[in-house]
């Protein structure tokens, strides 16, 4: 049987190599290999400026500098991201960010999540400095085909930075093609609050719908919104989570049941013990039952 399976491995391939779940807490001092700094259509393509980025004290710390993806400017710097395949229903994306204002004023300085295909097609979900008041609030923006606009989702209130300059941001979609929910949390024991305008149908934002159906990039971004001066703001990203239900048989959790999963089960075949990813049915032994699960699911998600 193994010979047949190994011949089968030569006949099948899979192009999906993206991580299906991300739980990055920036503890290791470097970004995992699947993270990147490139933004298609941006100049420079690789946005990394190491002099403004630190992985320290359990945070990804980015010092703001001029540059933006707003409409045709496409000059952003230091936008780390993870590529994702299509998202399966009941997915969620979450981060926690501190926006340290420092010398910035008079501009809508912002930091948060950017879900993007390229520099002209993205969705922003961010913590923003309100220039007239100096308060903070949570807001959204969308650029499609190079045209930027407010996305209509916003926190019902603003607050003083002395109250908090830290926010958690959460986007989720529970059902296939269902409404997308936007929440924020000020860690004041009030829990997740919905943004005004949430939930919203994905069809309202074709770029979001495209990302959900076809994949894209989940990025952590900063934007001075035109401000330049001394003592620039700093964003401290604490973690990024991209979670979605697993595909049965996807042993290595890359979103595709393929030869890699089959080989993993074959190499572990006969092994016993707890907590093996290859023991798919969790009965303590890697055997025919686990192998059949992979075979029946072969090609799923690819």
Binding residue for Ca ion, selected from 94, 181, 254, 268, defined by CB under 5 A: 254
- Rule CB under 5 A: say whether 119 interacts with Ca ion: yes
Site string for Ca ion, 24-63 (x = CB under 5 A): ----------------------------------------
Shortest Å distance, C-beta 297 to Ca ion: 10
H helices within 88-200, ranges in order? none
Rg (CA), the chain: 21
Token pair listed for 199: 């939930």
Residue choice 24, 94, 120, 165 for contact with Ca ion (CB under 5 A): 120
Shortest spacing between CB 123 and Ca ion, in angstroms: 12
Only one of the segments 18-26, 59-67, 167-175, 259-267 lies at the binding site for Ca ion (rule: CB under 5 A); that segment is: 259-267
Coil, strand or helix: which one is 166?
strand
DSSP three-state, residue 111: strand
The SS3 of residue 259 is helix
**Token pair 């959204």 is at which residue?**
140
Q: Which is nearer to Ca ion, 12 or 160 (CB)?
A: 12
CA dihedral over 128, 70, 238, 210, signed as positive or negative: positive
Quick one: which of 22, 53, 60, 69 contacts Ca ion (CB under 5 A)? 69
* Smaller CB separation from Ca ion, 185 or 261: 261
Closer CB to Ca ion, 69 or 225, in the complex: 69
- State which of residues 290, 293, 297, 298 lies at the interface with Ca ion (CB under 5 A): 290
Determine whether 178 is exposed, middle or buried from the number of CB atoms within 10 Å of its CB (0-12, 13-18, 19+): middle
**φ, ψ at 230 (rounded to 5°):** -90, 165
Q: Considering Cα of 243, then 140, then 30, then 165, what sign does the dihedral take? A: negative
To Ca ion, the closest distance from the beta carbon of 246 in angstroms equals 10
Instruction: Name residues contacting Ca ion, limited to 265-284 (CB under 5 A).
Output: 279, 281, 283
Q: Is residue 250 at the binding interface for Ca ion, with CB under 5 A as the rule?
A: yes
Element holding 10 (H helix, E strand): helix 2-11
- Stretch 125-184 residues interacting with Ca ion (CB under 5 A): none
Per CB under 5 A, the segment of 85-93, 189-197, 232-240, 244-252 that binds Ca ion is 244-252
Q: 44 preceded by cis ω (within 30°)? A: yes
Q: How far apart are the first and last CA of the chain?
A: 24
Q: Which stretch binds Ca ion (CB under 5 A): 52-60, 93-101, 125-133, 258-266?
A: 258-266
Structure tokens at 299: 């090609």
> What six digits make up the tokens of 242?
């991209």
CB closer to Ca ion, 122 vs 159: 122
- Residue numbers of the site for Ca ion (CB under 5 A)? 69, 74, 119-120, 250, 252, 254, 256, 261, 279, 281, 283, 290
């Amino acid at each position: 049987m193994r010979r047949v399976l190994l011949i089968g491995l030569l006949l099948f391939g899979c192009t999906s190599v993206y991580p299906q779940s991300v739980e990055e807490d920036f503890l290791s001092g470097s970004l995992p290999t699947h993270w990147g700094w490139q933004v298609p259509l941006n100049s420079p393509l690789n946005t990394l400026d190491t002099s403004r980025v630190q992985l320290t004290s359990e945070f990804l710390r980015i010092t703001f500098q001029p540059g933006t993806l707003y409409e045709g400017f496409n000059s952003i710097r230091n936008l780390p991201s993870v590529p994702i395949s299509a998202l399966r229903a009941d997915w969620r994306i979450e981060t926690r960010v501190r926006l340290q204002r420092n010398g910035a004023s008079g501009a809508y300085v912002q930091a948060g999540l950017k879900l993007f295909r390229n520099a002209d097609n993205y969705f922003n979900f961010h913590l923003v400095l309100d220039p007239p008041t100096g308060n903070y609030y949570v807001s959204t923006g969308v650029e499609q085909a190079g045209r930027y606009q407010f996305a209509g989702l916003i926190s019902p209130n603003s607050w003083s930075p002395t109250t908090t300059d830290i926010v958690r941001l959460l986007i989720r979609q529970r059902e296939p093609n269902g409404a997308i929910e936007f929440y924020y949390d000020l860690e004041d024991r009030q829990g997740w609050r919905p943004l005004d305008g949430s939930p919203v149908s994905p069809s309202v934002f074709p770029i979001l719908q495209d990302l959900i159906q076809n994949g894209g990039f989940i990025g952590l971004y900063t934007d001075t919104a035109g401000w330049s001066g001394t003592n620039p703001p700093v964003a401290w990203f604490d973690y990024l989570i991209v979670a979605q239900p697993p595909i049965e048989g996807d042993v290595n959790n890359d979103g595709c049941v393929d030869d890699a999963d089959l080989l993993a089960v074959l190499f572990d075949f006969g092994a016993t013990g707890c907590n093996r990813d290859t023991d798919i049915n969790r009965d303590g032994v890697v055997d025919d039952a686990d192998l059949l699960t992979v075979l029946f699911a072969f090609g799923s998600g690819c």
